[in-house]
A and B are shown apart, each in its own frame.
Chain A
Amino acid sequence: MSTVAGTNTPTTSAAPVADEERKAQRERWALLWKSKTFIAGAIIVGIFVIFAIFGELIAPDDPFETNPLNDLAAPSWDHLFGTDRVGRDVFSRVIVGARNIMIVAPAATLLGTVLGTILGLVTGYYRGAVDDVLSRIIDAFLAIPVVILAMVVITSLGPSNLVIILVVGLVFAPVIARTVRAAVLQEVGMEYVAAAKLRNERTLYVLFAEILPNVMGPVLVEFTVRLGYAIFTVATLSFLGFGIQPPAPDWGLQVFDNYGLISGGYWWPVLFPALAIAILVVGVNLLADGIAKAFER
């Protein structure tokens, strides 16, 4: 073997190439941090996260303390968002109420994403009969309205945070599975998958170590998008009485508790928790938009 061939090995020229790539990586993060939608979303969600963690410390009043002498007081300096029909401070209840939804919605989304990703990997990888059967089941699931399905399950199992997480997670899984499956289908055709088989890798390794890292982009985007839906779904379930039970300061529950009073002109115990839901959903969606753009290939 000749040693002259060694001159073909780049030493200096490859360095700029590597720099380019690192620069591109940095640019991607910079893009995320420069993105106004992402920053706005991050700020909104960040505030709610702080509410969820330090709720009682921030809240000016005890969210559970009733005061029959001061019920349905209009917003004032004493009670920024007014009081509800048993005289609890609405502002404090909105702040502390973030906790429940900020635990249940992300947990449900996480569960749905994990299940959906596994399902998507399996259906996309095996194709054939496995895919046909699972995909038809997924289609069947997708045909049932989420809230109705959730109501049926919760009625039979009884409402609790755990049940809501399970139900919402399970309902979301098929949707996420579809997206992941599409991404996996592209990856399975790649020759690195064949190369892995050619060194006797187990299927589990191929799925989770080889393919999964390459579909993390879509998985992440799907997670953030679904999180928005989850917040809405959880709030809806609470509103319908299928969520966490009174006297918890849950937003959906607050709206449910007080919406009958709107006709009497008492709008504040309903408007503020509803606004909180809306703002959080918008914040999460802004976040999702920013991430989707940065991870677009």
Chain B
Amino acid sequence: MTTAPPATAALELSDLEVAYRVRGDWRRVLRGVTLQVAEGESYGLVGESGCGKSTAAFAALRYLPRNGRVSSGSISVAGEDLLAMSDRDVRRLRATKVSMVYQNPTGALNPSIRIGDQVAEGFTLQGVADGEAHERARAMLEKVQISDPDGVMRRYPHQLSGGMNQRVIIAMALAKDPALLILDEPTTGLDATVESEVLDLVSALRDEFKSSVLFISHNLDVIARMCDRVGVLYAGRLVEEGPVGEVFNNPRHPYTVGLLRCIPRGGATKAKGKLDTIPGFLPGLGAELPGCVFADRCGLSQEICVQKEPDLYPLGDGHFSRCHFHEQAQQLPRVESPTPIKVEHANGQGTPILRTESVRKTFHQDGHDVRAVEDLTFALGAGETLGLVGESGSGKTTLARLLLGLTEPDEGSVVELDGTPLAGSIRKRGREQVKDVQIVFQNPDSALNRRFSIQRIIGRAVTMLMGEKGAKMESRMRDLAHSVRFDVRLIRQRPSELSGGLKQRVAIARAFAGDPKIVVCDEPTSALDVSVQAAILNLLAELQADKGVAYLFISHDLGVVRYLSDRIAVLYLGRLMELGEAGTVFESPQHPYTEALLSAVANEDGTKRARIRLEGEIPSHADPPSGCVFHTRCPRFIGDVCVNEEPDLREVEPGHFWRCHHTVEALRELQKTPPGGRVSRGAEET
């Protein structure tokens, strides 16, 4: 693509090569990336971690790390050549024309400066007087729908939630009315409902400010929702580009095809079949790749793919694919046979393997009682998967720690394993009980001791949980490695020498070392890329079918929960709001909170749901709302009864429980149409 850029492009990268110096060698990170973001356009950049997405964003601001450099190509922002500019001009450009919103909002704000002063700084930099700058800052905060702008102006970042901070950052980013707004994973750390709100906000503001947007995300759904055009980045190469709908519905590069197949969605479940994965690994940073960058992982790869770099083939309508066989891309052979995974479980009937009754946990914080978990009663059948969903602060992780004995529940809580009471603290549990309840943590980097070899990590667990030593331990360790598809030859490595997916396999092997009856999976795939996530989900499903273990599966990703779970429990403010068969919970009628959570994902048949926005922040645990704790945000709010009386968790259909004053019939009727706008809470109460 050598055509001259249209004069109006907000961002124009042409044949951009960026390299990082790692231990003396220059390694290519971006390989001739050419893309344009037209004025007023929203351009999405997707790809797995390590593909160069963030590097492209930083390059667009000429803000590469010290060891990075642009080796060739050009970058222009709003028609100005960034590489030819003096440092002073670059700073001026950053101050006036380009804004960036980062992933971690709390880290992007200065913790010791009040919000008002930070937002106003953007205006004072442009020479606006102090008083007026604060006026404008206030107006900006109003624009990003912060409910109490005056109060927020006086506060410090740590006093606000992550979602609020991200709105403040967006306010700051838009304060200068930028020609180009770069959003680098802006909602990745946020809860689904908050993410939804922030994305809505960005869309609305984009219409108002007419900014061009470069939107970077690993989340294909987010990109599909937010962008006009999308570029798929792999190993620093743009492998496919085109209008969002076209690329996602009619992908023409095997990488895009593979990526889309990895994601559990549209009601995918383990019973319907395994998820497909992308075999192999991303090539190392700066690897010499004379042919197609994806060749060694591609099922369609031929001789020519290894030898000759494919051109960017135009497919019409602005759709391009860098693949020799773009016409066959969708016939990419599946890596995983789509065989359904055998599902056998007691389904909560008969004697459950785990039963809890009135489990409570109160933390004492600065003289307040914080009720993290309130009156949880549920049962988990042998070999069953119970999915646990809810926003952060809903008590999911606290519940996991209570079951494991890492946190002691309040007096009067009952937890029974196989009919025998479990002591609150792990120190008081018998050896059998300890080995029966295990966990796979979210982040394998923190869960595996970085000083130990894999051999020692798994071996020690075998020794401690099974009491086996010497040759017996060795052979069991090898069996475990084999069962999680971990190459035994890598067993002497340290965790840092392995990829994220392999590390998580080790963590899973460790959890299975003592043949547990229950494994708590606390967001086991949220730190992983989607292709790796698919492989781990397949593995968990297979292990379950094989060993009959029960899972308590915690995740904020509803597609993932739907894929693996037999039943689903929905938590809000430490309370169980809904519990039932996965299919039932995902279908109407459902608890209004579940309805709102699910509105962010597509229906089982792939059709879009009407989005329900939950207004306001999640209330504080220290001071939960009266009556039904969800009434302050409920889209199906009834009236005084919700404010005054806390509903019980009741069985509304066989095996289907919820905590709501509505009847099944009422909700079924109501949920045929999306909820209308609610009259503001304050007005009703006065």
- Chain A residues close to B by CB (< 8 Å): 1-2, 4-11, 13-14, 16-18, 20-21, 23-24, 27, 190-192, 194-195, 197-201, 210, 213-214
Contact = CB atoms under 8 A, between A and B. Distances in A.
B634 interface: no
B343 interface: no
Contact of B485 (A5, A23, A197): A5
A194 B448 CA distance: 10
B84 interface: no
Contacts, number: 110
A198 B426 contact: yes
A10 B461 CA distance: 24
A11 B277 CA distance: 17
Which of A10, A13, A16 counts the most B-chain CB atoms under 10 A from its CB?
A10
Contacts of B324: none
B434 A199 contact: yes
B279 A24 contact: no
Contacts of B279: 7-8
A199 B535 contact: no
Given A5-B485, A9-B487, A198-B404, A14 B498 contact: yes
Contacts of A17: 284, 497-499
A2 B274 contact: yes
A9 B510 contact: no
A27 B336 CA distance: 40
A2 B339 contact: yes
B609 interface: no
Interface stretch (B29-37, B178-186, B537-545, B665-673): B537-545
B423 to A, nearest CB: 13
B464 interface: yes
A54 B377 CA distance: 76
A190 B426 CA distance: 18
Contacts of A200: 426, 431, 434, 464-465
Interface residues of B, number: 53
A21 B336 contact: no
Interface in B456-505: 460-461, 464-465, 485-487, 489-490, 493-494, 496-499, 502
B539 A191 contact: no
Interface string B158-169: 000000000000
A190 B446 contact: yes
A17 B337 CA distance: 29
Given A10-B280, A14-B487, A17-B497, A195 B447 contact: yes
A27 B23 CA distance: 8
Contacts of A24: 23
Given A2-B337, A192-B449, A198-B439, A13 B280 contact: yes
A212 B435 CA distance: 25
Interface string B305-337: 000000000000000000000000000000111
12 contacts: A10-B490, A11-B489, A18-B493, A18-B497, A20-B497, A191-B443, A192-B448, A192-B449, A195-B441, A199-B435, A199-B513, A201-B464
A20 B284 contact: yes
B490 A14 contact: yes
Contact of A199 (B277, B284, B337, B461): B461
Contacts of A23: 23
A295 to B, nearest CB: 14
B490 A195 contact: no
Which of A4, A6, A7, A195 counts the most B-chain CB atoms under 10 A from its CB?
A195
A134 to B, nearest CB: 22
Contact of B502 (A14, A16, A21, A201): A14
- A-B pairs, top 10 by smallest CB distance, nearest first, are A199-B464, A213-B451, A191-B447, A21-B497, A192-B449, A191-B441, A13-B281, A190-B446, A191-B446, A9-B485
Interface in B59-105: none
Given A2-B337, A10-B502, A194-B439, 15 more contacts: A4-B335, A5-B485, A5-B542, A10-B280, A11-B487, A17-B284, A17-B497, A18-B493, A190-B447, A198-B404, A199-B461, A199-B465, A200-B431, A200-B464, A214-B449
A23 B23 CA distance: 9
B487 A16 contact: no
A5 B538 contact: yes
Contact of A1 (B435, B451, B546): B546
A170 B280 CA distance: 55
A21 B460 CA distance: 24
B450 interface: yes
B438 interface: yes
A27 B22 CA distance: 11
B449 A210 contact: yes
Nearest to B520: A198
Contacts of A27: 23
Interface string B10-41: 00000000000001000000000000000000
B406 interface: yes
A6 B488 CA distance: 12
Nearest to A195: B447
A4 B336 contact: yes
A206 to B, nearest CB: 10
A135 B279 CA distance: 52
Contacts of A2: 274, 336-337, 339, 542
Contacts of B336: 2, 4-5
A200 B463 CA distance: 11
Given A191-B443, A197-B426, A8 B335 contact: yes
A1 B545 contact: yes
B602 to A, nearest CB: 27
A11 B280 CA distance: 9
Contacts of B464: 199-201
Contacts of B489: 11
